[in-house]
Chain A
């Protein structure tokens, strides 16, 4: 292509202006990409800067009076407990619902059902929290009472059960309902991508529907299921409102049926508005810890997805 300005044709812009436009546009989009780095670096930097006083403070000045680690440890445990309960409930149900949509539901209703599950994901967390506190918590009280009476010898279920139902168990159930759509929609997508060839191979050998799913669908989808669970875990770890509204928090205890325990996110949300000075810095440090935990979980999920992509490319 000629680069001289004299070749300018009617109806086209001048090359000089065009070139300037090109470099401005590419510069802009590059700047936007770099801004992402800047934002992320800023997130880490400002959290670190604001959290720094906590790490330098005398242990007696930190909430609880025994240093930051003693303060944050129960919160980490609480966060993990809530997320594990949520995963234990949501994983089997989420995968089964995904199977329902991909392989069991009649063709006519599988799409609407998928849409309804997506709507489940769109409901704001504060509404789940409000629902959990006013509807689910009282509804679970009889179950808690029964569990504490008949399975109280297990530390998790030791009584007396909370009479408001605002316990870790309830918070876990609400979290489970919130992360279920993540597991379902990701798993469903992978289930429907199972090569027809492999499904037919199983059926032609005389496999029942479940045997076909076990032979061809689940092996194909396993990495995808695992990464969907990890992403859901990341979401559950960072979820704030459901826990803040549902859990009646307190010191770390083993029983899931009594008031007690607290998660990092809810601790921050409930205390930040009134916090100042060192307390503010503590909460930001807690946020930093939460950020690191979710970062690790998400990294693992991404790594699984990336490895899985390499494998599927080879086939």
Chain B
């Protein structure tokens, strides 16, 4: 259930503006990869190209290749809907569907593909997904209540449960803890460590401690200035990035002498 991602010479444009330039990297299955870098360096944009969510923004397009176990996501005739059902995503701000109950939120993606899922199967899936997201014990008595009634951290874990219920191959997380308090953040980080045994996880974070705590490999992105494209500066095992960075820019950034 976990696939590798190979990115080859990817450029991302917003209309005329080149946002990300020439990124190539290989992401191993069953690992956590963190993207770090200053604001506006294109790391979130790049993350979105891994499940073609950037196409939601008018005028955005990517060139190059993103291979999911060898299959090009941008190949001719590939439907972005198929891609997104294989590569799930968790957003910066928790976004459970406000009109749905907790249970329906977990099942939202599953019901798309399998409308006639039986009640007992659905119950099992809800429990396993919520357990997978470390949320089961907190919400098992109120599965019928609206998801918007939960705390921010619980909502974010609900969104993770919703993402893993579809059984994707990859889970992308775009600064999943930036809207959460420290305790909720810790809960999410623990969760990331647990789900990496089953999924390829890619996480964008502003928080370098978080990157060093959760990730196996880290990619550092940077821009030279406003209006310039973001580029991948260094991509290495996390301990190397933080202890023995090869590039001066990386060292400046991780040691706090930058931005």
Contact = CB atoms under 8 A, between A and B. Distances in A.
Q: Does A touch B (CB under 8 Å) in the complex?
A: yes
Residues of A contacting B: mostly:
helix
A200 interface: yes
A34 interface: no
Contacts of A207: 81, 84, 109, 112
Contact of A204 (B84, B96, B100, B148): B84
B97 A216 contact: yes
A205 B109 CA distance: 5
Contacts of A107: 58
B98 A198 contact: yes
Contact of B108 (A197, A202, A208): A202
A206 B97 contact: no
B99 to A, nearest CB: 4
Contacts of A27: none
A310 B223 CA distance: 44
B163 interface: yes
B175 to A, nearest CB: 13
A204 B51 contact: yes
A23 interface: no
Interface string A96-135: 0000000000010000000000000000000000000000
Contact of B95 (A197, A206, A219, A220): A197
B148 A205 contact: no
B8 to A, nearest CB: 23
Interface stretch (B85-93, B120-128, B187-195, B197-205): B85-93
A206 B84 contact: yes
Given A200-B95, A201-B159, A206 B53 contact: no
A315 interface: yes
Contact of B89 (A196, A204, A211, A315): A204
Contacts, number: 69
B88 A315 contact: no
B82 interface: yes
A204 B53 contact: yes
A210 to B, nearest CB: 11
Nearest to A312: B98
Nearest to B53: A204
Contacts of A199: 56
Contacts of B97: 198, 201-202, 215-216, 219
A47 interface: no
Nearest to A108: B58
Nearest to B92: A197
B162 interface: yes
A168 B114 CA distance: 46
Contact of B109 (A197, A200, A206, A220): A206
B66 interface: no
B68 interface: no
B53 A205 contact: no
A304 interface: no
Contacts of A206: 81-86, 109, 112-113, 166
A14 B166 CA distance: 74
A199 B84 CA distance: 13
Interface of B: 51, 53, 56, 58, 81-86, 88-89, 91, 93, 95-100, 108-109, 112-113, 148, 159, 162-163, 166
Given A199-B56, A215-B97, 11 more contacts: A198-B95, A198-B98, A200-B89, A201-B97, A203-B84, A204-B51, A204-B53, A204-B91, A204-B163, A207-B81, A219-B100
15 contacts: A197-B91, A197-B95, A200-B53, A200-B56, A200-B95, A201-B159, A201-B162, A203-B84, A206-B82, A206-B84, A206-B113, A207-B109, A216-B97, A219-B97, A219-B99
Return the 4 tightest CB-CB contacts between A and B, nearest first.
A206-B85, A205-B109, A204-B89, A219-B99
Interface of A: 107, 195-208, 211, 215-216, 219-220, 315
